Amino acid sequence: MPSNKSVARKAETALTMEDLAKLAGVSKITVSRALRDSPLVTAETRQKIRTLANEQGYRFNVSARNLRMGRSYSVAVVVEMTPVRGRPMSDPYPLELLGGITQELTTAGYSVVLTSKQLMNTAPVQGADGLILLGQGSHGEAVRTLQQTGMPLVVWGAPEADTDYIVVGSDNRKGGISAAERFIAQGRQKLVFLGDVDHAEVQERCAGFIDAMGGRATVHIIRPKAFTFEAGFDSISALLKKKGAIFDGVFAASDLLAMGAIRALAEKNLRVPENVSVIGYDDTPGAASFVPPLTSVHQYLRDGGVLLAKKMLGLIEGQPVASEMLPTTLMVRQT
């Protein structure tokens, strides 16, 4: 084994990863993993190699590694939603999903490229090793757009018939069933479903809701195109203006829609839950602090982000990967 002095002299010209491995007494692959902060290497060994690399002035040549491996070690995350004033990107969806994705990918040595459908032709996106899509879009339009790239693809959403892409999502049908069971227990019989069923996730929530009611109540579907407070307010306000419009329960496809519906009911002096029960979806932080506190279906978004990233890493490595749904939980509060 060469002495530290001889390797150090060589470092004055160009210290290689092989040199660093000899100094550390480990293999080249261990050095590579340690410098990428891979969990496959113990924290003690990672720190030892990083310290040694700093002392020797070694810099990991990412470009050379990527060229040799035929990879960019980056994954592009495409957010389907269009940010609007009433539904910013800082909401738990998609922020919690992004947190889980970033945690998992960076731990594995990958960088995250955050983008939108409109920027698919940019170099960072085209050079990525795979795509994670957050949201399928109306009628699955966003999925079809990304499938045309031919890149590994994992989607946050709901499974659809006759599709061959990997989906991670919440059990939206079960979420709808839990809302129906709550209304049945309350004796509600004239119900409103509030949400755009052109989106696969929302359609599943609605289908589970109606199926679970089993004909014990009428369900009127209202399809606002937005998931905002304003859309919920406007939809229920318009319904209340119609002659003979009587309902005692509202199941909304998002918490913001539910909150807007409650405001519209309050302006007509209809009390929640005495006159009308309301259930939202997502269980955002604002649900618990809303007045009255909002009953809502909880999604485990951070766990979903981690799972999306794990599926993508599996695809990149050529491993068998299957779609997977996460559970939902009805958080019962005062609406």
Predicted local distance difference test score (pLDDT) of residue 335: 96
Distance CA 227, CA 240 (A): 19
Its CATH class, for the domain covering 72-168+299-326, is alpha beta
In the block, residue with structure tokens 């304003």 = 230
Predicted local distance difference test score (pLDDT) of residue 38: 78
Strand locations in 55-148 (E)? 74-79, 111-115, 131-134
In the block, residue with structure tokens 């259930």 = 279
Predicted local distance difference test score (pLDDT) of residue 56: 83
CATH number for the region 170-297 comes to 3.40.50.2300
Predicted local distance difference test score (pLDDT) of residue 64: 52
Predicted local distance difference test score (pLDDT) of residue 171: 97
Predicted local distance difference test score (pLDDT) of residue 105: 95
Query: Please, what is the end-to-end C-alpha distance for the chain in angstroms?
Result: 73
Q: Judge contact between 181 and 214, C-beta under 8 A.
A: no
Question: What are the φ and ψ backbone dihedral angles of 88, each rounded to 5 degrees?
Answer: -75, 165
- Reported pTM: 0.79
Kindly state which CATH superfamily the domain 15-59 is placed in. lambda repressor-like DNA-binding domains (1.10.260.40)
Do the domains 72-168+299-326 and 170-297 sit in the same CATH topology, yes or no? Answer: yes
Q: What is the mean pLDDT of each run of 10 residues along the chain (335 residues)?
A: 46 68 89 80 90 81 52 88 65 88 93 88 87 89 88 92 90 98 97 96 97 96 95 98 93 97 97 98 95 97 97 94 97 97
Please state the domain extents for the chain: 15-59, 72-168+299-326, 170-297
In the block, residue with structure tokens 């993993």 = 33
